[in-house]
């Protein structure tokens, strides 16, 4: 099994998974060209879509022209054109040799789903390395709950995000939790990878749990930073998450 992030558009990744027999699937093809260029003789059997934003779905039609038998999986959302199989929360998705579970993760959009299986998590614009998606259609409580569903997956899960935002996210994470040693080390490793034009992804969920401030809103160091930033305390985790997200939205690192 081989897994590759194909850079697309500005800073998107289209994830390409292939097996030894030449069967392949892609996640979130925001454009077709990188997939057509990378596919070679691969037989694309499935296209998984996490949410309706064009930079995640716009290449789908062109891929179906080349591989008309490929099956498309997508959340229930009329803004994603058919034909496709609509997935519900906790629905099992079988694709050739692979099996995934769809997980509803509203917040970035109301119908966003993630796909977990084969030790991989395709999380679109919900969980980023060292960050999380912006709240376009959901509440902080929804996004906080969605991230909590992903955070409990196995520690060695490889996290396949929709964008290469890690370096900028690291600057914010370090501003929020400067004393986090694992974060300092991981941020150094990310800078090195990016300086050599390598993807920072996929990392592991273990790293995210140790370093991503949006999965750590109850950590004492983060609460202390938030209290300094706001000049007051917070009622609960959801409020801390909301304030952290708002801080990031205005952060110029």
Closest to Zn ion by CB, 32 vs 49, is: 49
Residue 53 or 245 with smaller CB distance to Zn ion: 53
Nearer to Zn ion, 168 or 219 (CB): 168
Query: Whole-number minimum distance, CB 84 to Zn ion, in Å?
Result: 18
CA atoms within 13 A on the CB side of 113: 26
In the residue annotation, 56 being an active-site residue is answered as yes
Of the residues 52, 108, 144, 186, only one is catalytic, namely 108
Rg (CA), the chain: 18
CB-CB neighbours of 150 under 10 Å? 21
Whether 144 sits among the annotated catalytic residues: the reply is: no
Only segment of 64-72, 122-130, 144-152, 225-233 that touches Zn ion (CB under 5 A): 122-130
Helices (DSSP H) in the chain: which residue ranges? 33-39, 54-57, 60-66, 140-151, 166-176, 181-195, 205-211, 220-230, 237-249
For residue 164, the minimal CB distance to Zn ion (Å) is: 14
Residue 52 found at the interface with Zn ion (CB under 5 A): no
Give me the least distance between CB of 233 and Zn ion, in Å please.
32
- Work out whether strand 158-161 and strand 203-204 pair parallel, antiparallel, or are unpaired: antiparallel
**Residue 229 falls in the annotated catalytic set:** no
Whether 125 is catalytic: yes
Contact present, 114 and 95 (Cβ < 8 Å): no
Which is nearer to Zn ion, 125 or 177 (by Cβ)?
A: 125
Residue 51 annotated among the catalytic residues of the structure: yes
Indicate if 112 belongs to the active site.
Answer: no
Separation of alpha carbons 185 and 178, rounded Å: 11
Tell me if the bond preceding 83 is cis, omega within 30° of 0. Answer: yes
Tell me whether residue 69 is one of the annotated catalytic residues: no
Q: What is the nearest approach in angstroms of Zn ion to the Cβ of residue 55?
A: 7
Pick the closer one to Zn ion by CB: 67 or 128: 128
Binding flag, residue 53, Zn ion (CB under 5 A):
yes
Site residues for Zn ion, window 168-227 (CB under 5 A)? none
Residue in 55, 112, 144, 186 annotated catalytic: 55
Q: Which of 28, 31, 125, 164 binds Zn ion (CB under 5 A)?
A: 125
Residue of 56, 112, 144, 186 marked catalytic:
56
As separate numbers, helices (DSSP H) first and strands (DSSP E) second, the chain gives: 9, 14
Instruction: Measure the CA–CA gap between 24 and 31, rounded to whole angstroms.
Output: 17
Residues 6+ positions from 169 with CB-CB distance below 8 Å: 128, 129, 130, 131, 212
Can you give the binding site for Zn ion, defined by CB under 5 A? 53, 125
**Active-site amino acid positions:** 51, 53, 55-56, 108, 125, 163
């Amino acid at each position: 099994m081989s897994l590759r992030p194909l850079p697309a558009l500005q800073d998107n990744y289209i994830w390409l998974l292939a097996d030894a027999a030449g069967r392949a699937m892609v996640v979130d093809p925001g454009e077709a060209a990188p997939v057509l260029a990378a596919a070679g003789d691969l037989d694309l059997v499935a296209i998984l879509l996490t949410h309706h934003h064009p930079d995640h779905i716009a290449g789908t039609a062109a891929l179906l022209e080349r591989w008309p038998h490929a099956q498309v999986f997508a959340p229930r959302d009329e803004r994603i054109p058919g034909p496709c199989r609509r997935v519900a929360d906790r629905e099992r998705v079988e694709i050739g040799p692979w099996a995934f579970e769809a997980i509803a993760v509203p917040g970035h959009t109301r119908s966003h789903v993630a796909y977990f299986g084969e030790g991989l998590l395709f999380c679109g614009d919900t969980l980023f390395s060292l960050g999380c998606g912006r709240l376009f259609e959901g509440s902080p409580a929804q996004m906080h709950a969605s991230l909590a569903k992903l955070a409990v997956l196995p520690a060695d899960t490889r996290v396949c995000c929709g964008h290469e935002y890690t370096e900028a996210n690291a600057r914010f994470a370090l501003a929020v939790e400067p004393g986090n040693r694992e974060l300092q080390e991981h941020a150094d490793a990310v800078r090195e990878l990016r300086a050599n034009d390598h993807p920072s992804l996929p990392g592991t969920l273990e790293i995210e749990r140790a370093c991503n401030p949006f999965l750590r809103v109850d950590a004492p160091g983060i609460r202390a930073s938030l209290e300094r930033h706001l000049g007051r305390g917070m009622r609960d985790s959801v409020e801390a998450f909301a304030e952290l997200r708002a801080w990031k939205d205005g952060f110029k690192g």
